[in-house]
Amino acid sequence: RTMAWQPPPWATPPANPSLHLECWRGDELVRKIELTQKRRCFILGRQPGVADVLITDDEAVSRQHAALVASKESLYLYDLKSFRGTFVGPARVDPAKPQKLYDGAEFSLGPGLPTRFIVRNLKLPAA
């Protein structure tokens, strides 16, 4: 049994309870993925029981492909040494350097794939 990737010690649950990902395939919104459980990290991949965001319809995705790590109102994308890579826009994420995401940031699990994810409601609404 493969161990799940462990987040860094500074990780905290997301600040905004309505934080979610939109999963798009071309111009179609396929699903909304809530990231509201009180977790410090969310693993994206094909491995049932390990991946928090299970990707079952794409063989190019690794078992543990990427992780989203929250820290208050920030969200970081880690590539977990995936075979095809993790991309924010056209730029590949270096496995040694997590990429800080912003509200509305778009990322994909592999180059030129039709499925992409968009971060929504990262920041808390202004009081």
Please report, rounded to a whole number, the percentage of residues in the chain having pLDDT higher than 90: 64
Q: Is 20 helix (H, G, I), strand (E, B) or coil?
A: strand
Among the listed residues 5, 15, 111, 10, the one whose alpha carbon sits nearest the alpha carbon of residue 66: 5
CB 78 within 8 A of CB 70: no
Torsion (CA) 32, 36, 39, 40 in degrees, nearest 10: 80
Please report, rounded to a whole number, the percentage of residues in the chain having pLDDT higher than 70: 97
Q: Which whole-number Å values give the CA distances from 104 to 17, 24, 118, in the listed order? A: 16, 13, 6
Distance of CA 85 to the CA centre of its chain: 13
Q: What pLDDT, in 10s, does the model give residues 65-104?
A: 999 999 888 899 999 999 999 999 889 999 999 999 999 9
Assess whether pLDDT exceeds 70 at residue 1.
no
